Amino acid sequence: MTELGKTLRAAETAIPGLVIWDLPVHGDNRGWFKENWQREKMIDAGMPDFGPVQNNVSFNESAGTTRGIHAEPWDKYISVATGRIFCAWVDLRDGPTFGTVVTAEIDPSRAAFVPQGVGNGFQTLEPNTAYTYLVNDHYSPDGVYSSLNPADETVAIDWPIPLDQAELSAKDRAQGPLSEVVPIKPRKILVVGCGGQLGRALQAAYEGVSHVEFVDLPEFDLTAADFASVRRWREYSTIINAAAYTAVDAAETAEGRVAAWAANVAGVAALARIAAEHRLTVVHVSTDYVFDGTATRPYREDDPLCPLGVYGQTKAAGDQIIGTLDRHYILRTSWVIGEGRNFVRTMLSLAERGVDPSVVDDQIGRLTFTSELAGAIRHLLEARAPYGTYNVTGSGPVTSWADVARRVFELAGHDPGRVTGVSTAEYFSSATNPVAPRPLSGVLDLTKVESTGYLPVDAGESLEGYVRLETRARSGAG
């Protein structure tokens, strides 16, 4: 009998992502009523916003009717309108929980969210049971869908009505055992811009992960006319955009301005259109240059944007575009150091060559190593953190660029007193080419990303490790 008056709540199961929901059902002398799917309430309670596109109803005349076990390439939200069912789920996804079984009884006061790749089957426990399910993709008669024999002895599902007494289709009885099921791979992650500093760090962070693909520019052109058709986008879950125009000073030239807007705005807009159409998650990297640097406290994610130069303006525009997507992570960062030309390597080279540099001492922030950014990206995706903008830099004390330069000299065994601190205005006073205005403060508040369980490493510690490796490599020590 249907239980009335439950509170809407979710119960996790042994299969990751498979969640059984208690539903409020209201009854009186006329019968009962429930909100079977209420997007706003359920998302607030933790339901993934999986974007249903099709609602199907299966009417089952006899008790003992058994269907499944099928794992189609979509998410399902299942419930019953009348009657009761015994549900059995088997994880058919590649990974440590492959073959895990969960069973539960579903009546009108319960429902289940079944993620893509989890085999779903049910058996009716009452006559005239109406089984209903929402899915977020359309059925294709040409599709190849994974299935498992409901009687497979390996998973040993304890069906309430023995299958030799149940109603099954000939097709379901003919399905193979678990040993013949090819584990279902996750939807793919596409990293755009794999040749840059962050792209290389992402390759290291996802080394050995078979469902992550890497592409680089200009071969993969976000602004190309055929961009929408260069991939079977339904096979993907996420795009990580590690590509950007980052030549801050060159962006102030006529040619650079065009290139910056093309890469950081037009390309991002094309990516967003694909993501919106196919419900993809987009991870996008932003910068402290979207602020004017006048704040007297660390910048928070919701502070108003106020970029000073062309580069910051294009990045701010890209942020606004990505922010319109339902599924997005914007990682705002500063002072990035990775493989390739960077400030730390420049200081090491100057120290070795006996050059005593002048370095600006009125710009403050924290270094961010690309390994930190890559780790934060993977964490946010795998932890299913709430979508939105997150500040990600190294943690620890705030420093100036001159402080960093002195520390690099010291770590490399050189006299830090060789570094002279100067103002930004003084440093660029003799420049003959256009110079972009810099935010004097690029300090970002890390509270939000830390609340997800990701704790950035102290920037000073990361710098020590980086200089140690660089010094060994330069000395030929391996």
Helix 370-382 with 197-205: angle, nearest 10 deg: 50
Q: Which of 77, 131, 133, 236 is catalytic?
A: 133
Spacing of C-alpha 85 from chain mean position: 35
The percent helix, strand, coil of the chain (3-state, each to 5) is 30, 25, 45
Q: Are 144 and 52 in contact (CB under 8 A)?
A: no
Helical spans, DSSP H, in 164-249? 170-173, 197-205
Give yes or no: 133 in active site: yes
Helical spans, DSSP H, in 206-282? 254-261, 267-278
| DSSP letters for 382-446 | HTTPPSEEEE---BS--EEHHHHHHHHHHHTTS-GGG-EEE-HHHHTTT--S------SB--B--
**Which burial class, exposed, middle or buried, applies to 318 when counting CB atoms under 10 A from its CB (0-12, 13-18, 19+)?**
buried
CA distance 159 to 152: 11
Q: What is the SS3 assignment for 131?
A: strand
For residue 235, give Cα distances in angstroms to 68, 260, 279, 414. Answer: 23, 30, 11, 53
Q: What is the enclosing helix (H) or strand (E) of 125? A: none
Give yes or no: 329 in active site: no
Q: What is the enclosing helix (H) or strand (E) of 60? A: strand 54-60
Helical spans, DSSP H, in 248-309? 254-261, 267-278
Q: Which of 70, 211, 278, 387 is catalytic?
A: 70
Closest C-alpha to 114, from 147, 79, 155: 79
CB atoms within 10 A of CB 103: 17
The length of the chain in residues reads 478
- Among all residues, which ones are annotated catalytic? 70, 133
